[in-house]
Structure 1
Amino acid sequence: MHIEVYNAKLHNLKNITTTIPKQQFIVVTGVSGSGKSSFIFDTLHHEGQRIYLEALGIAHDVLHYDSFDMIQGLSPTIAVQQRTVSNLNPRSVVGSVTRILNLLAIIYAQEGQRAGKEASPYQLDEFVPGLFMFNSPHGSCPACGGRGSVVEVNVEKILPSERETIERWHQFAYQFPNAKKEEKEYVYKRLDNFTKHFQLSADTPFADLPREAKETFLHYRPKRTQSKGHLIFYGVSVVIEEKLKKINVQQIPDLQTTRPCTRCQGFRLGPKALSITIENKHIGQLSQMNVGDLAAFLRHYQTARPHTPFIAHLLGEILRKLDCLETVGLSYLNLYREIPTLSGGETQRLHIMSHLSAKVDSIIYIFDEPTAGLHEKEKEKIIESFHRLKQQGNTVIVVEHDESVIKHADYIIDFGPLAGQLGGTIVYQGSFPGFLHSRNSITAQYLREKKHPRKEYACGVDASAAKLSIRNARTNNLKNIDVDIPLHAIVGISGLSGSGKSSLVIDTLIPKLQSSFKAKAGKQKPLVEEEEEHDDDFAHAQADAKLSGAENIDGCIVVTQKLARRHENSCVATFLGVWDHIRHIFSMQEEAIALQFTRSSFSFNSTGSCPVCNGNGHIKRWLGQLTFSDPCPSCRGKRFKQEVMQVRYKERTISDILEMSISEAHEFFQDHAKISKMLGTIEELGMGYILIGQSLTTLSGGEAQRLKLARELGKSSKGSYLYILDEPTVGLSYYDTEKLLVILGKLIASGHSVLLIEHDPYVLSYCDYLIELGPGAGHKGGEIIAKGAPAEIKKLAGSMIAPFLE
């Protein structure tokens, strides 16, 4: 029972011939860019997919024919990766993805009771399951359309100060959104009508208007048929709202506010559905319970009254799914939690849950860093779930860097020794004890020694140090906590999944810093935040806390794992801002000038793109939900028109540049300072193996985050900035993590501050100060259970991370 691979040679793989045991729990590890993904995902998974489709009579080449010589022993292969683009639909929630909401809707349609009526099930044919589903036209709340919240335009946020004159207010309304002078005579006439009607002066401050005049000035709209002598005037809010209908309000910051829907109280459903209960709870209340509480409620309901065999089966199915959610560490979620708000690790664990509950055998499962975003104490359950899948007769292959997962593997495959051209070979295969003694494996060396880089700065944190102080934080599950975050140090925020880390940092600290900087700087924007990261299509928590100490920093740079607006034609070079410089270099070559080429001639998204594939380099074909790509027959994957390829710089075409790694390009453009500096920063972060033209959709969460960090570092921010990183070690081996720590240390030495949301004990042990939230998840968390230097935390009995610190 083996998988046999002969001469795998895709990307940087160096003709790998190997045998992999089946029905085992196998961990594949190695430094980033060593060839793990090329071998596991791009070779094994794609070939397993091709064989399965061929067996169904759907023959299609889903892989390059020359990527290997032969593979034998493959079964149908399912891959669950983090690098797939996230589902950004806010209507997609945990309950709909797991289909638990659908099953609950059927139970309510069959066994629900009208509120206040004792044990009197309504007529079965009176309602349909869709009545209890917010995505159904039968069930959604008519006021919010099933969103549970409504987005309103808050005109008051942009109006002038109340001490300004009504003339200034009126002028502002007609000049909005562009401050051009309004010359039309009727504008002045309308204000004149208003002042004469109320016997006021145009220079009266708005604050001094009588109540009736103030209401008219803001909201008055004349009727279409006015008799002579009536007031002809339009309220300033009316004028602005009419203009807002014609523009994109998302382009105007702070204009939109999100509030819970008052009609459905955030339960998303219409009044009819909310009047039907089981055990005195309507389906909206069940959907807002966390997974653990919902399971307890349904277990009670299962035994509290008799059920038809069909309903009993549905209850059993729901409870099995809820148990699987708990197994993969997601017991703190509720069924209404929107999928776009989940991290990459949480999304992947949702997928794992669906496979656990499927109970099939003879499948090859491939998982990409499934423990990302999990606390050390939570990893045990997910490792157990892999062994359970194996015991069902499946093969489980996990691409992972985490020590606890590597330790529990039946079999280890380590790629390396380094990244890119220095990788692509298997340096170890076998058991964990043998792996620890491997002299060729960099991963094994770090597992043996756990060395940290030396700090180039004084790392003590004392009470007199500058800090950010958060007081009475109550956002989400935070329990009115006070937190001091030392500056000019590396501070780690740790705790179980759902303990309140993101609520404290992402939902409280960042919005409060934004407000503080805006108040201080007016139109200037010292807060360098990734604004495109925020998806305006779903509600964000309102920060409920007080912040002081923002004056101690000049700005804040937020680096998350998400890359907004990822699409296939967005590549690493364009994201880093070096592509414009490279195209300029090509446009200045003699051949380009002779052909009258401009910068846009060297863009695969503009005039230089291949007309057949529009610069994609491939032609897409769809088969149901599967997508296949074939190289473009015209440009043969080069992406550009033939005449563009005639222009060369140092004997390389523009297409050749796209195929260079960061390391190659860094050397190639070393005489161009702007390009060289940016690419050099990425090399320092251990990402020299990534290709200049690599699509952003192919990057893992960790790679995306380091790319963003490199871009920010390349800007050379002057002053004292706070860098906030959300789980920066996702996707990083110890070798790569050490490089990241060196960069973070340089930031502190340069006068900046670093705040990390992190689980990795290796990183937390390196921090100067730790703040730990807990003790549990959801309503069981939200408290500070430990704070101090790692050495102090290790001595605290109440700390969850203490036993794992080094």
Structure 2
Amino acid sequence: QQLHTHNIDELLELPDAAHIATTIGIPYGKSKKAATDASLFVLVDRLVTKPMEEDDVHRLTDSINTAFYEGEGEVYLWVNDTNLLHFNNRFELDGMQFEEPVPNLFSFNNPYGACPTCEGFGQVLGIDENLVIPNTTLSVYDYAVAPWKGEKLGWWRDQFVAGAKSFGFPIHRPIADLTPSQYQQLWQGHGHTLGIHAFFKEVESNLYKVQYRVLLSRYRGRTTCPDCNGHRLRKEALYVKVGDKHIGDLCNMPVQDLKAWFNTLELTEHQQHIAKRILLEIHQRLQTLIDVGLGYLTLNRLANSLSGGESQRIQLTRSLGSNLTNSLYILDEPSIGLHSRDTEKLIGVLQQLRDLGNTVVVVEHDEMMMRKADHIIDMGPLASHLGGSLVAQGNYDAIIANKDSLTGKYLSKALQILPQGKPRNIQDTITIEGARQNNLKNITVDFPLHVFCVVSGVSGSGKTTLVKQILYPALLKHKGLPTEKVGAHKALTGNVNSIDHIELIDQNPIGKSSRSNPVTYIKAWDAVRDLYADLPLAKMRGFQPKHFSFNVDGGRCDACKGEGEQVVEMQFLADVHLTCEVCNGKRFKEEVLEVQYKGKNVYDVLNMSVDEAIEFFSTDLAEATIGKKKQQPEGAAIAKALQPLADVGLGYIKLGQSSDTLSGGEAQRIRLATQIGTRKNAGHILFIFDEPTTGLHFHDITKLLSSFNALVMQGHSLIVIEHNTDVIKCADWVIDLGPEAGDAGGNLVYAGVPKGLSKVKTSYTGKFLEV
């Protein structure tokens, strides 16, 4: 084994059986001296030359393998003390070694396969192109490159402009209109003309100066890893190819395109024999993803970027792939986030599960799903304390025939969700020009203001990309507010300055703490605490509003700190949650619970549903007397604060229900209720909603639409991403993207009033729209 002198300490780690040949500097000829200068050799074996017997062959083979292993791929053979031969198991041109392919090599979650530079994340901290060139509508001549400004740093822009003519670079062309090669020239430079990369290398060479460190920090951000190009795997994994594609290329393809690629993959007979079982599994799983409407996703899509409906359907494909029979499947609203066209495909998948001998139970509000169900169980008649009864059960016709079923009335069209009037006239607009992020095809879209606007299209057509990845961050950036990376587009134009605030109301949780709940989120609990603190018994005991809060010391239970339960930590198992033995789960001390208002203490109030609390507080017409001063009852104010929750269809939730138990749709509507109750005099607000009808019954959608129209009547603007046709037909303006998902989508199919959409033959939304 060859050991370089700077690793001489490694000799101490050699096995006892190893022999050290101290041959440094001994002249055995020119080749020997050249090979052994500044080197030590570990003698692995000696062998006398003679006619080889079978045992000698085995011994020589073992010794050579040992030498290759201990020498990290290098072996020297010294023949007859005169001839030194050098061998290695690497490619002679560049000395590259290839790892033996094993499953872990192709996993970025395993340290063996993860890219060592980005550690399997696909991104590193580097120069963010969007910070360097914030406005792509400008040209290089018009100072598009942000750091190339000022008396000193402006020299970089001047030298690029001066040298651009020599290699034909268009200095007056907007950055957004440059070809890929021209954009690369701007960054890489050409000949003696220095580009942006050279500029930042110069900055990095002067980081000992504080001003350069500050300058560099302005333009740093998350960028694609330069070593793995975002594939998250070590380079050795990307050298392995099947059909001229490595695993990173395959993971970048949409599922539907990947399925087509595997269908045309040509293998030899021997390769087919090896891969037969694997290819069968791949085909089945990819087809199932397509069947549940996820053909537009790529396999490298981050899990935290998936919607709740997408995550649930991915879990469904895992179950389908297992081919289980005689099993019970329980699905909670699997049609969430699905266009009506994709819901048809999902129903087909569920019917396949049924036909395999399984039982499929679905909690659902979708009319199409109900029509195809073999048996329907309708609960109600209303929500919360007004529900909980079995109203009807049977097939679709039986539900329609039941006069007590609210669901049946909507299915039979006895009750309908109808527009409140003619679409409002369009006056002001804001425009996204040249949107080309992800699958968007360089489209220009006008968003009308002061109206109810819906963005529709099949799942994966580009709705979220256009609204949440381009429009929303572009508006924040225009307002000078912090934002994430803005999606690729040419410009944001129109009457942007008329917008005072931008509110994105999506389905993210409203609180990460178990202490957060609906009544505290909408700020109604403050009024409740004030009410109880004003009661005679509370005053006599010196209680203040803080004593009726479970978040601070004073009135809360000292044992559980107001949680109502105590957590027993299990080192290798999930934590065990036990009801607090001191307060019996009531969160407050006994002396606080003795303070009652109309026979109810604060714990009782927290256990009320929104509808029950509104009824409880609004019926209070008495006045509270403090000394000689008369004060209006606070119950009416509390009921008024809670009313927006009922208006958006959340009358059934408990006031003290932990926020981490709320669904995404419920969290979104709580945010909407907060906006309705607190932002009436906040100027012109642009609200952006992401599928607000998630989890809503027809009756609740009617309430939601009333809330939307109330916001528009207050002078605000609404942009809603939605698949529900009842919502789409009630909009003032519809923007339909598609026609398909993935690469076959991303086009502007239609923009106008809902009535015109049903006449567009290329629109799948129009086919399901009844206007």
Q: In the alignment, is the contact (CA less than 8 A) between 2:432 and 2:489 conserved in 1?
A: no
Q: Greater shift after overlay, 558-567 or 296-305?
A: 296-305
Q: Matched residues, percent identical?
A: 37
In the alignment, the residues of structure 2 paired with residue 695 and residue 573 of structure 1 have an alpha-carbon distance, to the nearest angstrom, of 10
Selected match of 1:548 from 489, 493, 498: 493
Residue 602 (str. 1) matches residue 578 (str. 2):
no
- SS of 2:105 mapped into structure 1: helix
Q: Which residue pairs with 2:662 in the alignment?
A: 699
Equivalent residue for 1:345?
Answer: 309
Residues 3-152 of structure 1 correspond to what in structure 2 (within 5 A)?
126-152=100-126
Contact 1:218 1:235 in 2 (8 A): no
With over 3 angstroms needed to count, the CA separation of the structure-2 counterparts of 1:279 and 1:129, relative to structure 1, is: same
Aligned to 1:571: 517
**1:370-419 deviation digits (Å, cap 9, x = unpaired):** 01111111111211111111122221111111110000000011111111
Q: Distance in 2 between matches of 1:287 and 1:466?
A: 42
Q: Contact between 1:771 and 1:787, CA under 8 Å: does it hold in 2?
A: yes
Of the three residues 732, 750, 756, the one matched with 1:768 is 732
Aligned equivalents of 2:202 and 2:640: distance in 1? 60
Question: In the alignment, does 2:660 pair up with 1:686?
Answer: no
Aligned residue identity for 1:371: S
**Alignment pair present for 1:479 and 2:479:** no
Q: Which of 559, 563, 573 is 1:616 aligned to?
A: 563
* Counterpart residue number, 2:430: 468
Matching residue within 229, 236, 244 for 1:280: 244
Q: Structure 2: how far apart are the matches of 1:344 and 1:571?
A: 21
Measure, in 1, the Cα distance between the counterparts of 2:199 and 2:460: 51
Q: Please give the residue correspondences for 1:376-395 in structure 2 after superposition, counting only pairs within 5 Å.
A: 376-395=340-359
- Is 1:737 the counterpart of 2:701? The answer is yes
What is the CA deviation profile of residues 230-269 of structure 1, one whole-angstrom value per residue up to 9, with x for unaligned ones? xxxx42243798xx9xxxxxxxxx9863221222111111
Residue by residue, what CA displacement relative to the aligned partner does 1:542-564 show, whole Å, maximum 9, x if unpaired? 34231112123322221111125
CA distance in 1, matches of 2:199, 2:498: 45
SS of aligned partner of 1:307: helix
Which SS does the other structure have where 2:552 is aligned?
Answer: coil
**Cα distance in 1 for residues equivalent to 2:418 and 2:265:** 58
2-side partners of 1:260 and 1:681: how far apart? 44
Q: Which residue of 2 aligns with 1:502?
A: 464
Residues 782-797 of structure 1: pairs in structure 2 closer than 5 A: 782-797=746-761
More deviation, 791-800/625-634: 625-634
The answer to whether the 8 Å contact 1:275/1:282 transfers is yes
Greater Cα offset, 727-736 or 606-615: 606-615
Evaluate the alpha carbon distance shift between residue 394 and residue 214 of structure 1 in structure 2; reply closer, same or farther with a 3 A threshold: closer
Match of 1:637 in 2: 585
Q: Deviations over 1:140-163 (max 9, x none)?
A: 122222111224587989999966
Query: Displacement of 1:588 after TM fit?
Result: 4.5
Counterpart check, 1:517 vs 2:479: yes
Asked if structure 2 preserves the Cα contact closer than 8 Å seen for 1:364 and 1:394, the reply is yes
- Aligned partner of 2:503 in structure 1 is 557
Deviation at 1:304, TM superposition (A): 4.9
Change in Cα spacing, 1:214 to 1:599, as seen in structure 2 (3 Å) is same
State the Cα distance separating 1:580 from its structure 2 match: 3.2
- The 3 A distance-change label for structure 1 pair 213 and 494 is closer
Note if contact 2:734-2:752 (Cα within 8 Å) is conserved in structure 1.
yes
CA distance in 2 between partners of 1:460 and 1:328 (Å): 37
Change (3 A) 1:611 1:392: farther
**1:217–1:431 distance in 2 versus 1, CA, 3 Å:** closer
Give the superposition deviation at 1:660: 1.2
Q: Within 2, Cα distance between the matches of 1:431 and 1:326? A: 29
What residue number does 2:179 align with?
Answer: none
Once the two structures are superposed, residues 355-381 of structure 1 have per-residue CA deviations (whole angstroms, 9 ceiling, x without a partner) of 111211222211111011111111112
Output the CA distance in 2 between the equivalents of 1:471 and 1:341.
Answer: 25
Contact 1:638-1:655 at 8 Å conserved across structures: yes
1:448 maps to a residue whose letter is: S
Partner of 1:315: 279
Separation in structure 2 between the aligned mates of residue 693 and residue 365 of structure 1, nearest angstrom: 31
Q: TM-score normalized by structure 2? A: 0.72
Match among 236, 246, 253 for residue 211 of structure 2: 236
Unmatched segments (≥5 aa) in structure 2:
1-88, 135-145, 154-197, 619-632
2:115, 2:221 → 1: CA distance? Answer: 19
Q: C-alpha separation between the residues in 2 aligned to 1:801 and 1:662?
A: 35
> Is the CA contact (8 Å cut-off) linking 2:433 and 2:489 kept in structure 1?
no
Report the 3-state secondary structure (helix = DSSP H, G, I; strand = E; otherwise coil) of the residue aligned with 2:124: strand
* Change in 2 beyond 3 A, CA 1:237/1:679: farther
Question: 1:182-193 counterparts in 2 under 5 A?
Answer: none
* CA-CA distance at 1:717 after TM superposition: 3.6
Distance 1:239 1:597, change over 3 A: farther
2:246 and 2:535 map into 1 onto residues whose CA distance is 71
Contact persistence 1:361–1:394 (CA under 8 A): yes
**Is residue 411–residue 430 contact of structure 1 (8 Å, CA) maintained in 2?**
yes
The residue that corresponds to 2:602 in the other structure is 654
Q: 1:143-292, aligned counterparts within 5 Å?
A: 143-152=117-126, 220=206, 234-238=209-213, 257-292=221-256
Q: CA deviation at 1:606?
A: 3.0
What do residues 629-654 of structure 1 show as CA deviations (whole Å, max 9, x unaligned)?
A: 44333222212233432333443222
Alignment of 1:290-439 (within 5 A): 290-301=254-265, 303-307=267-271, 311-439=275-403
Partner of 2:193: none
| Matched-pair contact (CA < 8 Å) for 2:463–2:721 | yes
Letter in 2 for 1:661: S
Query: Compared with structure 1, are the counterparts of its residues 214 and 486 closer, same or farther at alpha carbon in structure 2 (3 Å cutoff)?
Result: closer
- Residue 511 of structure 2 contacts residue 660 of structure 2 at CA under 8 Å; is this kept in 1? no
**Matched residues in 2 for 1:619 and 1:453: separation?**
47
Aligned-partner Cα distance in 2 for 1:357–1:626: 29
Largest Rg, 1 or 2 = 2
Name the structure 2 match of 1:99. none
Deviation at 1:667, TM superposition (A): 3.7
C-alpha distance 217-259 of structure 1, shift in aligned 2 (>3 A) = closer
The match for 2:404 among 432, 440, 443 is 440
- How many residues align? The count is 602
Please state how far the C-alpha of 1:570 moved relative to its aligned partner: 1.9
Aligned partner of residue 276 in structure 2, secondary structure: helix
Match of 2:526, as an amino acid? Answer: D
What do the CA deviations read for 1:681-716 (whole angstroms, capped 9, x no partner)? 111222112110011122222211111100111113
SS in 2 for 1:773: strand
Instruction: Compute the displacement of 1:302 (Å).
Output: 6.7
How far is the alpha carbon of 1:312 from its aligned partner? 2.5
1:296-326, CA deviations, whole angstroms, 9 ceiling, x for partnerless residues?
2233337555337664222222222111111
Return the TM-score normalized by structure 1: 0.69
Aligned twin of 2:673: 710
Partner Cα separation in structure 1 for residue 743 and residue 229 of structure 2 = 20
Distance 1:382 1:587, change over 3 A: same
Q: CA contact under 8 A between 2:370 and 2:396: conserved in structure 1?
A: yes
Q: Which runs of 5+ in 1 are unaligned?
A: 1-113, 167-211, 223-233, 245-253, 519-524, 526-530
CA shift, 1:787, in A, is: 2.1
Q: Which deviates further from its counterpart, 402-411 or 641-650?
A: 641-650
One-letter amino acid of the structure 2 residue matched with residue 617 of structure 1: G
- How far has the Cα of 1:613 moved from its partner? 3.5
Aligned residue in 2 for 1:84: none
